[in-house]
Structure 1
Amino acid sequence: MTFAGAKDAVESINNYAVKFGYKIKFVKNEPHRIRVVCISERNCPFVMLASKGRESEGLVINTLTLEHTCCRQIEVPSTSKKCLANYFKEALYRNPRFSSKDMQGHVKDHLKLHVSLGKCKRAKRTILAKLQGSYKEKFNMLVGYIEKVKETNPGSKIELQLSKDELANGMRVFKRLFVMLDACKKNWIGGCRPLISLDSCHLKGVTFGVLLTAVGNDANDGVVPIA
């Protein structure tokens, strides 16, 4: 097996330790060489050595003994804040109200491990900070997106509205966006019944809000988005 680099190797080994409940120790953790042993019990034969290959840019496993004489542990050092953040990233993306206590219970029930509530709280703060940061970056790109739509889709109507309260404080904060592509408008006018309905979808994640869609029906009763 070949890893892309030391970072990839360390992450994979830590995931292995968390999944099977082993206490591992990195005897060597260098950019070109990694050596790992199990310290769950004295004289446990597990060992892994990976180093930079001659024909590969990554780290290649040279020595591997997967046998363990130790029992599964309920406390594993590899269950770090970073590990928990990676594990719960998708769950918190879908439901930011997923509590730290729920995270702790999930680890106990599904991974058979014990982690402190404080570590779960720190992991949750890390995930939410990254998610909110990525959302802010995406919202800052909206103005460029609007200009690109107007350039590549002549006749389209697109309007961005900012929060008046935040504008008074000198901040540009997103409030709502209206988009009607010219092709959708012509499609509805040219081949749909003269009836417009409104569909709504409540958004989850960090931002919440509602996605409203004006839709029409074609001759086959198919739903056609308008705006």
Structure 2
Amino acid sequence: MDIWNPKSKQIRLGMFFKSKQDVDLAVREWNIRRGREIFVVDSKPTLYKVKCYTRNKNYKNPFLVLLFVNGVQPHQSKNSNTCGRLPTGAPAHSCYSTVVRNNNRCLRSKDIGANILPQIRTDIAFKVKHIRTFIKQTMSVDVMYTKAWRGRRKAIERIYGTWDSNFAELLKYVLRLQSRNPSTVVNWFHHPHSAPGHPTFKYVFWAFGPSISAFRLCQPVISVDGTHLKGPYRGKLLVAVTKNANNYIMPLAYALVDEETVHSWC
């Protein structure tokens, strides 16, 4: 069975795809590398048709037709997955190129994110200008700053999760901190108007057990400060630090709060 490989960047007649997302990605990347723009003629659970922008939209013969059939593997149940197969399609473009300004409309931000995953794994602060240069060198396409920025965000979300999923893991994360660091102190404060049975997080404070023990050997001075959190959750991170005998700064306690107020500092 000829199964599509994302690294090969090739599509052939009779090739199978594991999902419709793979079909969409493979077809668009294949056309982008040839300087062509395509649009979807028909998209159904069992059918996927695309053709070039240069062809009239009333033209009956599409450029590519992909047929979805049930693909049952030995280790899968009957309804666990589907495979897409490319039964018909043109071997090459016979139309003229539609890309004039080298800004291909078929290249989406999620495609950029898929192509820069190795760079983001190495450096999460991979700059947008470097992303634009990388896409230009590898795919010969000029991308706008905003599209490259969205592509970097999608790549980060694929590796590290979304803001919502990470924030939802905060409780498990803090519990794991306690289990791995004995004597760690954690104090939660929930919104007083939370729904019964569904407490809404407002503040959380924690101090690691080793920091509590080491404070007895530090200088009797505590410094406190706060910083703004970036992203959709506009909270504040409060930190208390001290100095040890070697004049090195040692963090004592942390707190995540909604606003920097007298109540939250207390």
Q: Which TM-score band (shorter chain)? A: 0.5 to 0.7
- The yes-or-no answer on 1:7 pairing with 2:40 is no
* Alpha-carbon distance in structure 2 between the residues aligned to 1:135 and 1:92: 18
Q: Aligned runs of 1:169-184 on 2, under 5 Å?
A: 170-171=203-204
Post-superposition offset of 1:164: 8.2
Post-superposition offset of 1:21: 2.6
Tell which deviates more after alignment, 111-120 or 82-91.
Answer: 82-91
* Alpha-carbon distance in structure 2 between the residues aligned to 1:87 and 1:51: 26
SS in 1 for 2:42: strand
- The yes-or-no answer on 1:22 pairing with 2:36 is yes
- The yes-or-no answer on 1:48 pairing with 2:48 is no
Post-superposition offset of 1:7: 2.5
Amino acid at match of 1:15: E
Q: Is the 8 A contact 2:178 2:185 kept in 1?
A: no
Task: Tell me: CA distance 1:122–1:55, structure 2 relative to 1, closer, same or farther (3 Å).
Answer: closer
Q: Is the 8 A contact 1:6 1:32 kept in 2?
A: no
Q: How many residues align?
A: 165
Q: Is the 8 A contact 1:3 1:9 kept in 2?
A: yes
* Alpha-carbon distance in structure 2 between the residues aligned to 1:62 and 1:8: 16
| Superimposed CA distance per residue, residues 45-74 of structure 1 (whole angstroms, 9 cap, x where no aligned partner) | 982111233776422222121211334842
Which residue in the other structure is 1:65 paired with?
Answer: 90
Task: Tell me: CA distance 1:142–1:163, structure 2 relative to 1, closer, same or farther (3 Å).
Answer: closer
Post-superposition offset of 1:116: 0.6
69, 80, 89: which is aligned to 2:108? 80
Task: Tell me: CA distance 1:162–1:41, structure 2 relative to 1, closer, same or farther (3 Å).
Answer: farther
- TM (normalized to structure 2)? 0.49
> Which structure 1 segments of 5+ residues have no match?
148-157, 178-227
> Which structure 2 segments of 5+ residues have no match?
1-14, 73-81, 190-201, 211-266
* Alpha-carbon distance in structure 2 between the residues aligned to 1:121 and 1:50: 31
- TM (normalized to structure 1)? 0.56
Task: Tell me: CA distance 1:79–1:117, structure 2 relative to 1, closer, same or farther (3 Å).
Answer: same
Q: What's the C-alpha RMSD, in Å, of the aligned pairs? A: 4.0
Tell which deviates more after alignment, 4-13 or 28-37.
Answer: 4-13
* Alpha-carbon distance in structure 1 between the residues aligned to 2:54 and 2:16: 26
Amino acid at match of 1:31: P
| Superimposed CA distance per residue, residues 158-202 of structure 1 (whole angstroms, 9 cap, x where no aligned partner) | 5268798999x832679799xxxxxxxxxxxxxxxxxxxxxxxxx
Structure with greater helix percent: 1
